[in-house]
Amino acid sequence: MILKTYQIDAFATKVFEGNPAMVVPLKSWLDDDLMQKIAEENNLSETAFFVQKDEIYELRWFTPKSEVDMCGHATLASAYVLFEYLGYDKEEIDFATKSGHLKVHRDGKYFVMNFPVQEIKSSDKHQKIEEAFGTKPLAIFESMDYIVVFENEEDVINATPDFALLKELDLRGVCITAKSQIYDFVTRFFAPKYGIEEDPVTGSAFTQLVSYWQSVLGKDAFFAKQLSHRGGEVRCAIKGDRVEISSEAVKYLEGTIEV
């Protein structure tokens, strides 16, 4: 079986920035085990597979370790492939996922994802998180991930977590954040239990971060940056119970795999 593949740098204006995702368009679904093996072989934070069903595209995401319920950068990458290389000519793409319907449209050079805003609540996991980071944060919240708020941007930049301890936590990952002099806020994201020590740019994390920063900054639109080695800028706008997450993407490679 020959499968077409595209490796896309999402949340990037040029290659080697943002977060790479492999996109594999399918005519019909493969066995779950085979998709997991492909994702493991790709060894990227996410491999996205989609199948067209009438006017909707069913979309699934796999890390090298397991399938996940939500992924922003691989959704952006999938939309980029459809718009740029597969001739999609409608205004908006409707992806059916484990997290409901996620829609993406183009706005000039930006790809705009419409995701549900995730509510956050205070966390009681302070001891393990403080031990993992070797410092006491300003606050810790829970949602899909742990949201750990630090006092300043330098704390986020200099964080060197104990990944073995983070792996023991029950949620998907840990997102650290702080106010910024240049951006509204900065962030980093760690998900070692899914085989990703640090994710370059985590679109889905912003569905939670906006809940916190809306309450702190008193605004609904944000310009943020994820401070990984590759880095990536993200624009977010809360609209009711949804958030629009916008950025650019570029193709790194196009090829085929044989399985």
CA distances from 224 to 74, 75, 172 (A): 19, 19, 21
Residues belonging to the chain: 259
Where b means 16+ CB within 10 Å and e means fewer, 42-63 reads bebbbbbbbbeeeeebebbbbb
CA distance 88 to 225: 29
3 state SS of 84 = helix
Helices (H), 5-85: 32-42, 72-85
Give the DSSP H/E element, type plus range, for residue 163: helix 163-167
For residue 102, what is the enclosing H or E element? strand 100-107
Tokens of 207: 């569905």
Determine the number of helices (DSSP H) and then strands (DSSP E) in the chain: 6, 18
Q: Which of 17, 46, 153, 248 is catalytic?
A: 46
3-state secondary structure of 206: helix
Whether 46 sits among the annotated catalytic residues: the reply is yes
Please give the DSSP secondary-structure letter assigned to residue 5: E
Contact 97, 59 (CB under 8 A): yes
Please list the active-site residues: 46
